[in-house]
Amino acid sequence: MKSPTAPGRWPVLGHAPALITRRLQFLSSLSSLSSVGEVVRIRLGPIPAYVVTSPAAVQKLLVPGDRDYDRGRLMAKASVWFGDSLLTSHGPSHEQQRRSLRSAFTSEQVDSHVRHVQDSARTLVKSWTPGEMLAMDELMKDLALTNTAQSLFSTSLTTGSLESIRLHMPALFKSVIFRTILPSGLERMPTFGNFRFRKAMRSLDDAVAAIIAARRAESGDKHGDLLDSLLAAQDDQGNMLPDKQIRDHVMTMLVAGSESTAAVLSWALYEIFRDPDLARRVREEVGALPADQAFTAADVLALTCVNNVISETLRRYPVPFIMRRSLKPVRLGEIELPAGAEIVYSPYLLHHDPRWFPDPLRFDPDRWSSERHGSVPKGAYLPFGAGAHVCIGKRMALAGLATALAVICSHWQLEPVAGQRIREVATGTVHPNRMPMIPRRLPADEWERAA
């Protein structure tokens, strides 16, 4: 059976204008076409691509493993920057990498990440003064990047290397997604943007290489961080990973671990504090945590209201789309696709389908209460993907998010600035165009307990 074509196709450009100018509305509008087929055809200029709209077909795409698919044209291009890592590989090479990195994501690593997040979030909230205007989206980017870097490098993260990562990573975040879409020739042109991007890449490479070299030169003391695990990791033949591959994994973790976490934190704070009743419920819950003790992942993952807020934020503001490419003819739902077909699955589309999430634009953390959330079918909620490529940092991300929210909400009442229109901007994540907020003091008794 042939897949239906999405409406709104332009001559020559196909659906590229819709994907560039109103990506999120376009993607969520495709869920209404699911009655005509589980796979909808779109055109990216001359190239056809197939958007999978039904949870069952997305499960079929992701879950049997990835012998039939590679990562598609976006990741093929991103491998120029991220090298050979989990984000860009597929099949047996990916399976081997996944096995060798398992030791970097143990419960001890997650607990250690929680401690880093608790410390840096505390330092951050103590630097705020009541009534000042905060650019919360920028602060959350910095917090998420610092936390990921600390969990990767712990004590080897000197002030200089952290500064270099903080300075150059935003240029990478900003343009990497557009660069994967642009024709390759444009990247070699002598423009300011290309110059800045290349400089950022070089500086990040130098900072990461210096940290790896310094760690290798040490006498073998253990730091208990992700870099220790990467340096100790072995491939299936028992060989240690070469420096180039460790660099590729480190860059991947810095990018994959920070940008999405920052966006989710900003949106969660925005949603909590524009609903006074929700803010009160969250504060009551986090107020019961022992503020003077180090949290564990188990402590923060047991916070029902906070974790429902996180689940709902991940539903409402998820990764916009992810690609695969068929390596042989495949069948998804009713549709046969040829080898080489570019396939799109979109957590944004799935999470805004009113069949599973009534009134999908409404932020409602109680959708995730134990009585209600059983009705969501498999494949309809995929904030961390599924199958062979399910997010390796999922538990670390969830525990880190809950920790940061617990620390921030137990110290301050945040006030969204009136009259500012906050828009969703889709790049590799859905992030806010801006997020100005004003911290206000908590009632005295709560402030004393938190301090």
Residues that bind ligand HEM (CB under 6 A): 86-87, 98, 148, 252-253, 256-257, 260-261, 264, 319, 322, 383-385, 389, 391-393, 396-397
Nearer to ligand HEM, 140 or 396 (CB): 396
Minimum distance, C-beta of residue 89 to ligand HEM, in the bound complex (Å): 8
Minimum distance, C-beta of residue 440 to ligand HEM, in the bound complex (Å): 27
- The type of residue at 137 is D
Minimum distance, C-beta of residue 151 to ligand HEM, in the bound complex (Å): 7
Closest residue to ligand HEM in the complex (CB)? 393
Minimum distance, C-beta of residue 166 to ligand HEM, in the bound complex (Å): 17
Nearer to ligand HEM, 14 or 318 (CB): 318
Minimum distance, C-beta of residue 98 to ligand HEM, in the bound complex (Å): 5
Question: What is the rounded CA–CA span in Å between residue 182 and residue 119?
Answer: 40
Helix, strand, or coil here: 439?
strand
Distant-in-sequence contacts of 360-367, Cβ < 8 A, 24+ apart: 360/28, 360/316, 361/316, 363/271, 363/275, 363/312, 363/313, 363/316, 364/312, 365/278, 365/305, 365/308, 365/309, 365/311, 365/312, 366/308, 367/308, 367/311, 367/312, 367/315
Number of helices (H), then strands (E), in the chain = 17, 12
Using DSSP bridges, classify how beta strands 322-326 and 69-70 pair: parallel, antiparallel or unpaired: antiparallel
**Tokens standing for residue 25:** 């509305």
Nearer to ligand HEM, 95 or 138 (CB): 95
CA distances 54 to 122, 383, 388, Å, are 42, 15, 19
Nearer to ligand HEM, 134 or 402 (CB): 402
DSSP 198: H
Nearer to ligand HEM, 98 or 174 (CB): 98
Rounded to 10°, the helix 243-273/192-217 angle is: 110
Minimum distance, C-beta of residue 105 to ligand HEM, in the bound complex (Å): 8
Helix, strand, or coil here: 426?
strand
